[in-house]
Amino acid sequence: MHPKIMLVDDDSTLLKFLAEFLSEQSFQVVTASNGQDALRLAYHEQPNLAVLDVMMPGMDGWELCSRLHEMTDLPIILLTGKTSEADKLRGFRLGVDDYITKPFSFAELAARIQAVLNRVRLRNPAEVNTIPCGDLTIDLAKHEVRLAGKVLELTPTEYHLLEVLARSQGKAVAETDLTREVWGSLHSEETNAVRRYIWLLRQKIEKDPANPQMIVTVRGFGYRLDTGEANSDQEKL
């Protein structure tokens, strides 16, 4: 899953062209033109990083930075026309991860975004311990599953079954192997439990559980979690 970047700037032209450029660099991009919209966007979209303009009417970048850090540990890059050392120090005291002065090249900003994301992953190993599967993200450290950014309420058994499928990276897993992994060797011959929990999972993650596109049945064998990559040799039911 590509990193999601939130851009906040009251300059609509800059916002438009920068969003287009970052999208071409394989980032997901969401935008806001003021601080209040940015707070709502951060809550609903849960971006991986925010790029904030300092000079905005109403809630400026300094206040927005503080408000964001009250609700999340979101990495932040500040954009500003000011070059004074005092302003940069103020930003770093607020927990800003980087600081770029206008005018700037889009390529430089993209490189800085990637550098900050890499640093965040290094200081938060748990973030590396995730499995992205299309719109699904499985956090192995938190035992948490998100669908399109929203946390799913799964039972421990449902989570374990989904994790086993996800770890197979799009490859089919036999029903007997799923049973053994989730319920143990004593139940390795009982596949009805797998089918029942597959049905329950589909109710929670499929747009149309009757025509599943994510948890795919492989006839006469088992199931696989569709990661979005082509699998022409396995039939969806």
pLDDT at 15: 93
Last residue of a domain, one of 128, 149, 183: 128
Segment 223-234 shows an average pLDDT of: 61
Here the CATH number for the domain that contains residue 115 is 3.40.50.2300
Q: In what order do the strands lie in the sheet with 150-151?
A: 130-133, 136-139, 144-147, 150-151
**How many distinct structural domains can be found in the chain?**
2
Q: pLDDT tens digits, residue range 70-87?
A: 878 889 998 887 666 666
0.95 surpassed by pTM: no
* Cα separation, 226 vs 212, whole angstroms: 10
Using an 8 Å Cβ cutoff, are 42 and 71 in contact? yes
pLDDT at 31 over 90: yes
Regarding whether 115 and 215 lie in a shared domain, the answer is no
Does residue 211 sit in helix, strand or coil? coil
Name which residue leads in pLDDT, 182 or 10.
10
pLDDT at 16: 94
Give 150's Cβ-side CA count (13 Å radius): 6
Regarding whether 30 and 140 lie in a shared domain, the answer is no
Dihedral pair phi/psi, residue 221, rounded to 5° = -135, -65
Segment 56-61 shows an average pLDDT of: 86
Regarding whether 173 and 80 lie in a shared domain, the answer is no
Regarding whether 143 and 50 lie in a shared domain, the answer is no
Regarding whether 119 and 14 lie in a shared domain, the answer is yes
User: Within a domain: residue 234?
Assistant: no
Instruction: Provide the percentage of residues in the chain whose pLDDT is more than 90.
Output: 27
Name which residue leads in pLDDT, 208 or 119.
208
Regarding whether 83 and 173 lie in a shared domain, the answer is no
The overall average pLDDT reported for the chain is: 82
pLDDT at 29: 94
Structural domain that includes position 149? 130-225
Q: pLDDT tens digits, residue range 171-194?
A: 888 888 888 777 765 454 555 788
Segment 127-151 shows an average pLDDT of: 79
Regarding whether 169 and 142 lie in a shared domain, the answer is yes
